[in-house]
């Protein structure tokens, strides 16, 4: 493989990992951790925010309003994602990678300073909604940008490990949020939390975000983008137009896998502590958060594990093992829940489910390869964010409503989307990458579509 062939494969050629690789992966993962913390800290204080911004409403209605604001962050993702991805494919990955984290830090800081309903009336939840939308637009550019950035820096034989490690760093933001929530819960009374302490995690998140902006100054543009720019191989038309016209299969596969990822994160990690453990089974909030902390740590470990495995075996094998294992672990976890469950058993079962929830790392591993480099950022961002806006936004509301009828609703939901993830892994573009489509077209027309 020649150096120039990296534009064709979309990955740097095989070589040992060097100091620059570790620096890039480390700084990118840390930045992803801090930014995703900003996005998810909202969910750890859903109950508090419900009381402060929707006082006096029926408890269920008020909770659904707060979950609706949480979901609004997902609905805003396609707008921010497509815009930032467009410029990421035209002027460079690094610039958009830095911009996205700045756009996350600012509204997070503002949420921590917002007056509540008692002070500002109906404008308080309106401003909270606006800040959540800005957060959604920022995260829409961050995650696809991070995956593409690492995929185009990591040598091909360590591709899965690199992407999995980055995803682990991003999910580490949930772990950081869980730890901060535990610290606040242990350090302050309920009255103090409602009065002022709930603001601390958001203000801290704003500080974390601005630190991440500074850290990303030390990253370099991806070698793949540099080479495309030198060879004038960048997109010749609007990248989104090329994606919609020529890469429908990759878009659909990415959308389905995004549904699976959003379920693994939103249902098993974000919703379960507050909505399932605390409200349904009346498990102590501190124990619930500690168990969630264990599950999130195992989630991050699982991302690395499945990324490493993906470099060793066929996609159909690791997808079946990862998502099949998640379906089984989720069914076992939710079926064993009861108000009398011990803390140790809860943590073990939750941690096991968290390890298999690391299957979410298979989305970027498969989908980044499904799009050619010239429109990769736009393709991944468009499909991922559009699907997340739909499924990530509706999932907490559907699951919350379903839980009114069945305590096993989360397990059934996870099982369905896990089977869908396994099914799409058997499509050629999933286990062979976008070159599978090129070979098929070349075999019938004699023409390549590399420039596309």
What pLDDT sits at residue 282?
92
What pLDDT sits at residue 10?
57
- 310 neighbors 167 (Cβ within 8 angstroms): no
- CATH number, residue 103: 1.20.1250.20
What pLDDT sits at residue 303?
96
CA atoms of 41 and 38, how far apart (whole Å): 6
What pLDDT sits at residue 46?
80
Sign of the C-alpha dihedral, residues 310, 316, 318, 319? positive
CA atoms of 271 and 400, how far apart (whole Å): 9
Q: Around Cβ 311, how many Cβ atoms within 10 Å? A: 17
User: For residue 7, is it within any domain?
Assistant: no
What's the structural domain count of the chain?
1
CA atoms of 452 and 175, how far apart (whole Å): 39
CA atoms of 258 and 77, how far apart (whole Å): 13
User: For residue 28, is it within any domain?
Assistant: yes
DSSP notation for 1-27: --TTHHHHHTSPPS----HHHHHHHHH
User: For residue 445, is it within any domain?
Assistant: no
User: For residue 5, is it within any domain?
Assistant: no
DSSP-H helix ranges across 45-92: 46-53, 59-75, 77-90
User: For residue 15, is it within any domain?
Assistant: no
Range of the domain at 291: 21-438
- 29 neighbors 170 (Cβ within 8 angstroms): yes
Burial call 67-79: b when 16+ CB within 10 Å, e when fewer = bbbbbbbbbbbbb
User: For residue 444, is it within any domain?
Assistant: no
User: For residue 374, is it within any domain?
Assistant: yes
What pLDDT sits at residue 232?
54
Tokens in use for 64? 């659904």
CA atoms of 289 and 347, how far apart (whole Å): 10
Phi, psi dihedral angles at 408 (to 5 degrees) = -95, 5
User: For residue 128, is it within any domain?
Assistant: yes
CA atoms of 353 and 301, how far apart (whole Å): 12
Tens digit of pLDDT per residue, the chain (452 long)? 333 444 444 556 666 677 777 777 877 777 778 777 877 788 778 888 888 888 876 777 887 788 788 778 777 778 887 788 777 777 767 777 778 888 888 999 999 999 999 888 889 999 999 998 888 888 877 778 888 888 888 887 888 999 999 999 888 888 888 889 889 988 999 899 989 999 999 999 889 888 888 877 777 766 666 666 665 545 555 778 888 888 999 999 999 999 999 999 989 998 898 889 998 999 998 899 899 989 999 999 999 999 999 999 999 999 999 999 999 999 999 999 999 999 999 999 999 999 999 999 999 999 999 998 888 888 898 898 888 878 877 888 788 888 888 999 999 999 999 999 999 999 999 998 887 665 554 445 455 444 44
Q: Note the pTM of the prediction, 2 decimals.
A: 0.79
CA atoms of 361 and 198, how far apart (whole Å): 31
Tokens in use for 425? 């892994």
CA 213 to mean position of chain CA atoms? 19
């Amino acid at each position: 493989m020649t150096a120039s062939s990296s534009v064709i494969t979309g990955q740097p050629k095989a070589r040992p990992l060097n100091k620059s690789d570790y620096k890039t992966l480390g700084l990118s993962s840390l930045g992803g951790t801090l930014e995703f913390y900003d996005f998810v800290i909202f969910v750890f204080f859903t109950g508090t925010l419900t009381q402060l911004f929707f006082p006096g409403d029926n408890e269920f209605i008020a909770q659904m309003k707060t979950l609706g604001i949480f979901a609004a962050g997902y609905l805003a993702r396609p707008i921010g994602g497509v815009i930032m991805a467009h410029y990421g494919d035209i002027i460079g990955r690094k610039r958009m990678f830095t911009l996205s984290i700045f756009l996350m830090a600012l509204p997070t800081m503002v949420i921590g300073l917002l007056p509540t309903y008692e002070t500002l009336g109906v404008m308080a939840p309106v401003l909270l909604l606006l800040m959540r939308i800005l957060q959604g637009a920022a995260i829409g550019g961050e995650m696809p940008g991070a995956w593409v950035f690492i995929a185009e820096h990591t040598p091909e034989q360590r591709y899965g490990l690199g992407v999995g490690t980055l995803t682990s760093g991003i999910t580490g933001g949930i772990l950081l949020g869980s730890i901060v929530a535990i610290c606040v819960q242990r350090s302050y009374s309920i009255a103090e939390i409602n009065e002022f302490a709930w603001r601390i995690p958001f203000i801290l998140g704003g500080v974390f975000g601005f630190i991440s902006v500074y850290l990303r100054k030390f990253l370099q543009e991806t070698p793949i983008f540099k080479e495309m720019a030198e060879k004038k191989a960048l997109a010749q038309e609007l990248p989104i137009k090329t994606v919609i016209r020529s890469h429908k299969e990759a878009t659909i596969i990415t959308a389905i896998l995004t549904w699976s990822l959003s379920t693994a994160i939103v249902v098993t990690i974000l919703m379960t502590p507050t909505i399932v453990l605390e409200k349904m089974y009346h498990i102590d909030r501190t124990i619930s958060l500690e168990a969630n902390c264990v599950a999130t740590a195992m989630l991050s470990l699982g991302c690395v594990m499945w990324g490493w495995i993906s470099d060793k075996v066929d996609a159909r094998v690791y997808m079946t093992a990862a998502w099949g294992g998640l379906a089984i672990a989720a069914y076992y976890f939710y079926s064993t829940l009861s108000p009398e469950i011990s803390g140790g058993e809860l943590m073990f079962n939750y941690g096991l489910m968290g390890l298999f929830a690391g299957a979410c790392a298979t989305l970027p591993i498969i989908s980044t390869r499904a799009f050619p480099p010239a429109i990769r950022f736009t393709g991944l961002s468009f499909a991922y964010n559009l699907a997340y806006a739909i499924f990530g936004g509706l999932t907490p509301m559907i699951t919350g409503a379903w839980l009114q009828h069945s305590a096993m609703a989360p397990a059934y939901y996870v099982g369905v989307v896990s089977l869908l993830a396994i099914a799409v892994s058997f499509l050629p573009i999933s286990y062979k990458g976008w070159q599978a489509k090129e070979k098929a077209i070349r075999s019938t027309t004699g023409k390549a579509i590399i420039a596309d």
